[in-house]
Amino acid sequence: MAPASILVIAAGELGDAMLRGLTGHPSASTTRIAVLLRGTTISSNDDIKQKHLSSITDRGVHIVEGDIVQDPPQQLSAIFSNFDTIINCFGFAAPPGTQRKIAEAALESGCRRYFPWQFGVDYDVIGRNSSQDLFTEQLDVRELLRGQERMKWVIVSTGMFTSFIFVPEFGIVNAERDTVTALGSWENRITVTSPSDIGWLTAEIALSHPDVEGVVFTAGDTVSMAQVADVVDKVGGKKVQRVEKNVALLKDELAKEPTDGWRKYRVVFAEGVDSRVNNGKINADWLSGVAWDMNKTFNHQQQISTQTVEQWAKENLKT
């Protein structure tokens, strides 16, 4: 049975995709769907923001006012208490400590099910000593959720957004799309999912699978660095230059600018197969937390089609 009410936190790229997934789902007819937005966003005179708000309300979504960063936990908990399910889509711009604050407020609210903002890599495998220190708080949230039994929780591990492959700052495909750089090696793999697929798959879990809990793996696609280069070749209609940067080189680059977030991410995604498994013997089914096999995903098991890297590139990259 679908929950009576769902609150989505934030309506950025992921939040908007989540709302579209929820409102477009056939099981949503009896569920009240709402989104939490800051008062300044709701009252803004900016035409773009107002059009966005109209597109949200036109889909039957209720607007709830609240400020995730500024409001104290007790106030957030009071808001959350009006909903059966909370889906947190507020992450990229969140100050340190925000994710734990939201999880604690959800726990205190008495809501039945919480989806934290962990739409990304497998933090359990990566651990606390990775190059990306932002991952530590994600592990804190997991420990909090695992240490209680009052509230069901679902972590939807999606890999990174598909679009990030093509963001020049990430370091794989350059701005001119004439060079592809392999992070780690050409055999190194990454899992990616588009926000629209994340929204739809999370909606499916939230509305049609009430018994699902814990960490759930999804994927739009899992590709090697070599396959990324092949896609850019194909979509761009020309052969790209291929450059490889191993982990040691990427760590040297990070050491020169240790606060650079993109360099931190490059190291994490470059590290590839986790050799700590099986006493140093690499198990091909166990990757470093940034990739997993498609046949082990929720969408594969439910026979739900997702957008591949090549499909995304054909639809979004101008030649």
pLDDT tens digits, one per residue of 110-125: 999 999 999 999 999 8
pLDDT at site 276: 39
* Over residues 58-72, mean pLDDT: 96
Count structural domains, the chain: 1
Q: Write down the pLDDT at residue 135.
A: 82
pLDDT for 279: 42
d(CA 154, CA 115) in angstroms, rounded, equals: 5
What pLDDT does residue 313 have?
A: 97
N- to C-terminal Cα separation, the chain: 46
Quick check: is 275 in a domain? Answer: no
Question: Residue 156 maps to which CATH number?
Answer: 3.40.50.720
89: containing domain: 5-160+192-220+289-307
pLDDT at 278 over 80: no
* 284 located within any domain: no
β-bridge partners, 113 = 85, 152
Task: Over range 82-107, report the average pLDDT.
Answer: 93
Contact 159, 118 (CB under 8 A): no
3-state SS assignment for residue 224: strand
Residue 96 maps to a domain: yes
**Distance from CA of residue 58 to its chain's centroid?**
26
Q: Is the pLDDT reported for residue 131 higher than 90?
A: no
Q: Confidence class of residue 134 from pLDDT cuts 50, 70 and 90?
A: confident
| Torsion, CA 41, CA 134, CA 260, CA 172, rounded to 10 | -90
Average pLDDT over the chain reads 92
- Is residue 271 included in any domain, yes or no? no
Find all residues with CB under 8 Å of 177, minimum gap 6, and list them. Answer: 166, 232, 236, 240, 317
- Average pLDDT on 24-42 reads 96
> What stretch of H or E contains 143?
helix 135-146
Q: Which tokens in the block code for residue 14?
A: 């992921």
| Predicted local distance difference test score (pLDDT) of residue 93 | 75
Question: For residue 301, what are the contacts with CB-CB under 8 A and spacing of at least 6?
Answer: none
Report residue 1's pLDDT band, with 50, 70 and 90 as the boundaries.
confident
Positive or negative, the CA dihedral 273, 276, 278, 279 is positive
Q: Quick one: pLDDT at residue 319? A: 61
Displacement of CA 27 from its chain's centroid (Å):
23
Q: Does residue 313 lie in a domain region?
A: no
Note whether residue 319 is domain-resident: no
pLDDT tens track for 186-238:
999 999 999 999 999 999 999 999 999 999 999 999 999 999 999 999 999 99
pLDDT of residue 106: 98
Task: Judge whether 261 lies within some domain.
Answer: no
pLDDT for 126: 86
Q: How confident is the model at residue 173 (pLDDT cuts 50, 70, 90)?
A: very high
Question: What strands, in cross-sheet order, belong to the sheet with 221-224?
Answer: 160-161, 189-193, 221-224
**What are the backbone angles phi and psi of residue 37, rounded to the nearest 5°?**
-135, 155
- Within a domain: residue 242? no
